[in-house]
Homo-oligomer: A and B are copies of this chain.
Amino acid sequence: MTTHQDIQTDCALIALDWGTSSLRCYRFDRNGQVIERRAHPWGIMNLPAVEHGEDAHAPYRVALQAACGDWLEAAPQAPLIAAGMVGSKQGWREAAYLNVPLSPDLIGSKLTEVDTGLGRPLWIVPGLLQASTLPNVMRGEETQVIGALQTRHERELLIGLPGTHSKWVRVVDGRIEHFDTFMTGEVYGALCAHTILGRTMHKPDAADDAAFLRGARVALGPEGKSGVLSNIFSSRTLGLTGELAAEAQPDYLSGLLIGHELAALKTLYPVQAPAIVLIGDAGLCRRYQLALDLFGLGPVSQAEAATEVGLWVLARHAGLVA
């Protein structure tokens, strides 16, 4: 059992991955190893209720205290760092975006300080902004990219972060050169829950890789030229003609959308796609890996524990840990 004394001796950093829907906490020892992990549902859109009349900081302070008050008390010397939407305009305090291209080593020197009211400041990692014709932004993913880069030394990498808003980040000679965003996950959710496509679907008992790859193959093939707005209708019509079971439709549609994301990626990297590193949920990364193989993109590998490694590296760059 971990005692108050253990934490006091051991704890070199308390780090937070504080997003829209969850708050994940990491307690690091002096060697940069995570000693304890916690996850709470207190994302910035889901903070604990506070007494009427308390200040705007209160819900954050209450969540932080509830999530790791014991760590804070036992290790009063340990600095506190956070990445994610907590630094957005809707978060605790806005941590202004840094412009891409940039060297990720710079990010740690640009943290934004917030007075927590809990005896020490919280240092918030800035997001990244790419001021292209169609701008792009990220918050939280920059930390995962930094984490993944600790063990990769290729001259050129394409780092994929699949999810609600998938990011694809191009890294050349250790610099973040460019990134793109695809709203694949959120569009998938909206199509299933709020369009006619959802009405004929049944959720399968297990992931149906064949249906997923069938959808991805449409995006890659000649029918893909009709575009995603047209292709998605086939989830319904293949059902009407008895060619696609209701249970296969969710994975087929997922394959169609991810396939169109990768078809666009192939257009953006036409000559020779670089080595790919995936970061994120294991099940989703496995899906992307299947589709990337189909599209002939890669080689593909997966980064482990990118968020926690990134938070530690950023704290080191910031001079918060030795």
Which of A's residues lie within 8 Å of B, judged by CB?
A: 129, 131, 133-137, 165, 180-184, 186-187, 189-191, 193-197, 218, 223, 225-234, 237-238, 240-241, 243, 257, 260-261, 263-264, 267-268
Contact = CB atoms under 8 A, between A and B. Distances in A.
Contacts of A189: 194
B227 A260 contact: yes
B191 A195 contact: no
Given A263-B227, A264-B225, A131 B186 contact: no
A230 B181 contact: yes
B241 A135 contact: yes
B257 A229 contact: yes
A268 B223 CA distance: 10
A260 B145 CA distance: 31
Given A187-B191, A237-B136, A228 B227 contact: yes
A167 B180 CA distance: 31
Contact of A183 (B180, B225, B229, B240): B229
A243 B161 CA distance: 27
Contact of A241 (B131, B223, B240, B268): B131
A187 B134 contact: no
Nearest to A191: B190
A17 B113 CA distance: 64
A238 B134 CA distance: 7
Contacts of A129: 241
User: Top 10 closest A-B pairs, CB basis?
Assistant: A227-B264, A134-B234, A135-B237, A190-B190, A190-B194, A182-B229, A181-B233, A194-B194, A182-B230, A135-B241
A173 B89 CA distance: 59
How many monomers of this chain does the complex have? 2
A238 B260 CA distance: 23
Contacts of A182: 227, 229-230, 233
Contact of A165 (B225, B233, B261, B264): B233
Contacts of A136: 233, 237
Given A180-B226, A267-B225, A231 B194 contact: no
A267 B263 CA distance: 15
Given A229-B260, A264-B226, A264-B230, A237 B134 contact: yes
A11 B238 CA distance: 42
Nearest to A88: B240
13 contacts: A129-B241, A134-B238, A135-B241, A181-B233, A182-B233, A183-B232, A187-B195, A190-B191, A226-B264, A227-B263, A227-B264, A228-B228, A229-B264
A204 B196 CA distance: 27
A194 B193 contact: yes
